[in-house]
Copies of this chain bind each other. A is one copy, B any other.
């Protein structure tokens, strides 16, 4: 009878999600009341429960689908060409992609870190996400034979280190400073150079 975008329900569901993401980000998981979400979304309290079983269900459903998207986006990237025309190419591409994805999903990722993880009810989402990401990164390392002499544990640590690095910078620039996509190139370069460019003048260049 009508086009899809006007389908009853789907529209409301979207509006709830949008409102929730906004409020979760601003006020945290516990700070956001269902009553605020529905007010923001312009509907009655009861309507919320037509689309979500509970407040936690809303969070889980938003977070999970979003994080899956992120993991997929990065996974696709890892499939890219394997020839290293130049040292650091994979690293560059991966970090760049990660930052871009983070940017586009900055709300949920920030939420996950700062809000989701805070609530024991929801911790499993965070744990699962990081596990998946770390595994993905390790796989990429192995595929391209990066860190050739590392043990599994060292590789795992490295993976988590990368995630932490990217996430912290992304959070502070995208969320707290409100930077946009235009900063990504510079961020990527810096993140690649983090441990490389650290030597004082005289011993500079490539380490």
Q: Give the interface of A toward B (CB within 8 A).
A: 26-31, 84, 87-88, 91, 113-121, 127, 130, 141, 144-150, 153-154, 157-158, 160-169, 172-173, 176, 186-187, 190-201, 203-207
**20 more A-B contacts (CB under 8 A) besides A113-B113, A118-B118, A205-B207?**
A28-B118, A31-B121, A87-B203, A87-B207, A91-B198, A113-B114, A116-B118, A130-B172, A144-B200, A146-B199, A148-B200, A149-B197, A149-B204, A150-B190, A150-B197, A157-B191, A161-B191, A168-B168, A192-B195, A195-B196
Q: Give A197 to B158 CA distance when docked, in angstroms.
A: 10
A27 cross-chain contacts in B, Cβ below 8 A:
120
Minimum CB–CB distance for A204 against chain B, Å? 6
Minimum CB–CB distance for A12 against chain B, Å? 17
Q: Give A137 to B162 CA distance when docked, in angstroms.
A: 19
